[in-house]
Amino acid sequence: ERLVGSVADGEDQAVEAALRPKDLGEFIGQEKVREQLDLVLRAARARGATADHVLLSGAPGLGKTTLSMIIAAEMGAPIRITSGPAIQHAGDLAAILSSLQEGEVLFLDEIHRMSRPAEEMLYMAMEDFRVDVIVGKGPGATAIPLELPPFTLVGATTRAGLLPPPLRDRFGFTAHMEFYEPGELQRVIHRSADLLDVAIDPAGAAEIAGRSRGTPRIANRLLRRVRDYAQVKADGNVTREIAAAALKVYEVDERGLDRLDRAVLEALLKLFAGGPVGLSTLAVAVGEERETVEEVAEPFLVREGLLARTPRGRVATPAAWTHLGLTPSRPQAL
Ligand code: ADP
C-alpha cells in the first residue's frame, strides 16, 4: 500500500465515512461543478422531479463518491452504491434496477468497466426507465419488459473519454473534477482535523497540503500519519516542523513524491544523465516491473512536469534536476 496512492485502502474506508461533507455547502473547492450541480438539483426539486443522470469524471480520491451522496441528500433520496466491475451480467444490473425506489440515486463507480450487455441494458434504463429481461435461451428466448421507477444514475469514471458515446450522451449533466489547489487542500485538512480532534496550525496544514498531490483522500491520509507522529514524538499539536518531520519518516517529500517516484527520477538523472532512456531499461534500473514504473510512478511525475514521455524514451525536465538538487552532467535533450 502506498501512502500517496489515490485509491482507498481499508483504513481510508473506515475513516472516510466520518470525513465526508454532507451537503454542497460543506464540499470544498470544485466551484464550477458545485455551482452547476446546485442549479441542476434546485431545478429538479422545484419541479418535483427526479434529478437528471449525472456523470462525474476525475482521478480517484477527488470526491466523486462524496458528491453522489450529497446529490442523494440534497434530493432527500436514498442511495445505492455499486461499481462497474461488480456488474458482470446484465442480470446483475436488472436485479439492482428493479429494486430501486422512486427517486433513488444509483451510484455506479468505474462505470467504464461494466460488461457490454449490462451497458446496453443501462442505455434503455436511463432513457426510458425500462429494461427488457431476457427469459430463456436460444430461439425460445423472450424479452419481458419491466417498468422501472424514475431514478438518478450517478456514474463515475476516471476519464469521460473511456465511455462509449451512446452512454456518455445519456447523462443530462457531466462534470469534470479537477485536482485541488493547495489552498483548498489546506481547508480540507483543517476540516478533517476538526472532525478528528487534531490540533493543527495553518502552517502545519499547508505543509501537508503541499504533499497531497492535489487529492483530498491523500491529504486526509497524510493528516492521520502526521497526527500519529505528533502524538508519539511531540505534544500532539501539528505544526509545520512536526508535519515535515513526520512525512520525512514516511518518505513523502515536499512535492508529494514517495520513494518509488524518487527512485525513478534518480535513476533517470544519475544513471542515464536525464535520458532519453527506454521504459524497460529504466524499470530494470529501479528493480521494478515496467507496468509499475509506467502506471504507478510516471503519471504523477509527468503531471508535475518532472518527466516527459517522448518518442525516443523518458526524459527528465530541468525541474527534475532542481527537485533532486542535481546538476545536469551534459546538455539536456529537453
Ligand atoms: P472518489 O469517489 O472520487 O474516489 P471520495 O468521494 O471517496 O473520492 O473522497 C475521498 C475522501 O476525500 C473522502 O473522505 C472525502 O471526505 C474527502 N473529500 C473529497 N472531496 C472533498 C471535498 N471537496 N471537500 C472535503 N472533503 C473531500
pLDDT in tens, 251-296: 999 999 999 999 999 999 999 999 899 999 999 999 999 999 999 9
Distance 65 CA to ligand 1 centre (A): 7
Note the ipTM here. 0.99
Cell of 326: 542535481
64-69: long-range contacts, CB 8 A cutoff, minimum separation 24 = 64/109, 64/156, 64/177, 65/20, 65/107, 65/109, 65/156, 66/20, 66/21, 66/27, 67/27, 67/33, 67/37, 67/154, 67/177, 68/105, 68/107, 68/154, 68/156, 69/20, 69/22, 69/107
- Contact between residue 249 and residue 92 where contact means Cβ atoms under 8 Å apart: no
Nearest atom within ligand 1 for CA of residue 68: 6
- Please, how many CA atoms are within 13 Å of residue 198, restricted to the half-sphere of its CB? 28
The predicted structure's pLDDT at residue 136? 87
Please choose, from the candidates 68, 259, 269, 90, the residue with its C-alpha nearest in 3D space to the C-alpha of residue 177: 68
Active site residue 64: yes
Catalytically annotated residue among 52, 80, 82, 158: 158
CA–CA dist 172, 150 (Å, integer): 14
Cell of 287: 528493480
Place of cell 518518442: 311
The predicted structure's pLDDT at residue 134? 83
170 assigned binding-site residue: yes
**108 three-class SS:** strand
314 assigned binding-site residue: yes
Q: Is the pTM of this model over 0.80?
A: yes
The predicted structure's pLDDT at residue 333? 63
The predicted structure's pLDDT at residue 3? 94
129 assigned binding-site residue: yes
Lining ligand 1 with CB less than 6 A are 16, 19-21, 27-30, 60-66, 188, 216-217, 220
Consecutive 10-residue runs of the chain (334 residues): their mean pLDDT?
90 91 96 96 97 97 97 97 94 94 97 94 95 88 93 96 93 96 98 97 98 97 98 97 98 97 97 95 97 96 97 96 90 66
Pinpoint the alpha helices (H) of the chain: 10-19, 31-47, 64-75, 90-98, 116-128, 165-168, 182-196, 202-210, 216-233, 240-249, 259-266, 279-286, 290-291, 298-303, 318-324
